[in-house]
């Protein structure tokens, strides 16, 4: 293994870890705006993996289409949704489970 292969392996490991961490953040965070920003991080990390695979055009398309367009549309949709509706505690699905515990 030469130096270039070692750098590629380390870069892939870092990008793969970043994809996993940001994807978990998308799923586990309760704030939907933070989840949308982390989704952009997932898209950028995946484009980095495409660059490591010498698929430069696919990486550029990933950044332009997904990060530049889809993620921005998701953010606008989230920010325009009416968040003033507050569900009373007794109508929340976990209310019965909470009371039984």
Domains in the chain: boundaries: 3-100
Measured from the Cβ of residue 75, the count of other Cβ atoms closer than 10 Å reads 16
> Nearest 10 degrees: CA dihedral of 36, 37, 43, 48?
-170
Instruction: Give this prediction's pTM.
Output: 0.73
Answer yes or no: is pLDDT of 21 > 80.
Answer: yes
CA distance 91 to 95: 7
Answer yes or no: is pLDDT of 94 > 70.
Answer: no
25-84 residue pLDDT tens: 999 998 888 888 899 999 999 999 999 999 999 999 999 998 888 888 888 888 887 666
Least confident of 9-13, 50-54, 69-73, 91-95: 91-95
Quick one: tokens of 54? 């010498």
Q: What is the pLDDT of residue 59?
A: 94
CATH architecture of the domain with range 3-100: Up-down Bundle (1.20)
């Amino acid at each position: 293994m030469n130096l270039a292969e070692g750098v590629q392996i380390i870069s892939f490991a870092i990008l793969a870890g970043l994809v996993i961490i940001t994807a978990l953040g998308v799923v586990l965070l309760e704030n939907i705006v933070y989840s949308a920003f982390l989704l952009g991080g997932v898209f950028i990390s995946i484009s980095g993996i495409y660059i490591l695979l010498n698929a430069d055009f696919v990486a550029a398309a990933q950044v332009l289409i997904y990060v530049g367009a889809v993620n921005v549309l998701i953010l606008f949709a989230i920010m325009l949704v009416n968040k003033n509706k507050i569900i009373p505690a007794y109508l929340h699905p976990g209310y019965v489970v909470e009371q039984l515990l």
